[in-house]
């Protein structure tokens, strides 16, 4: 089934065992969901998905829908991180 140019798999209630995100958009390179990825920047003008399970880049995955879902997921995760607090040094 094609949805907006991105492959969607009907998995019912399947979720990632690591992050809990629904497994709805899979990487064409490694097969992991959006939530198992981060971005790497091997060159100044290049951005690649990086699989956190396989510890490697996913050069075959270039779909705009996958990148957009990754960006949304990473933004949501960063909003849930605790704010950095300044470290107090003993005088």
pLDDT in tens, 5-61: 333 443 344 666 666 666 678 899 999 988 899 999 998 889 999 999 999 999 999
Ranges assigned E (strand) in 1-91? 2-3, 6-7, 37-43, 46-51, 56-57
* This model's pTM is above 0.95: no
Q: How far is CA 15 from CA 23, 32, 45, in A?
A: 5, 11, 33
CB 25 within 8 A of CB 7: yes
pLDDT at 22: 63
């Amino acid at each position: 089934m094609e949805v907006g140019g991105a492959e969607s798999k009907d998995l019912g209630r399947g979720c990632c065992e690591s992050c809990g995100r629904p497994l709805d958009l899979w990487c064409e390179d490694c097969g992991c969901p959006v939530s198992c990825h981060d971005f790497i920047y091997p060159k100044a003008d290049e951005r690649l998905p990086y699989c956190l399970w396989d510890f490697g880049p996913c050069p075959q995955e270039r779909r705009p829908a996958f990148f957009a879902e990754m960006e949304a997921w990473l933004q949501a995760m960063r909003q849930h991180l605790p704010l950095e607090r300044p470290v107090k040094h003993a005088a």
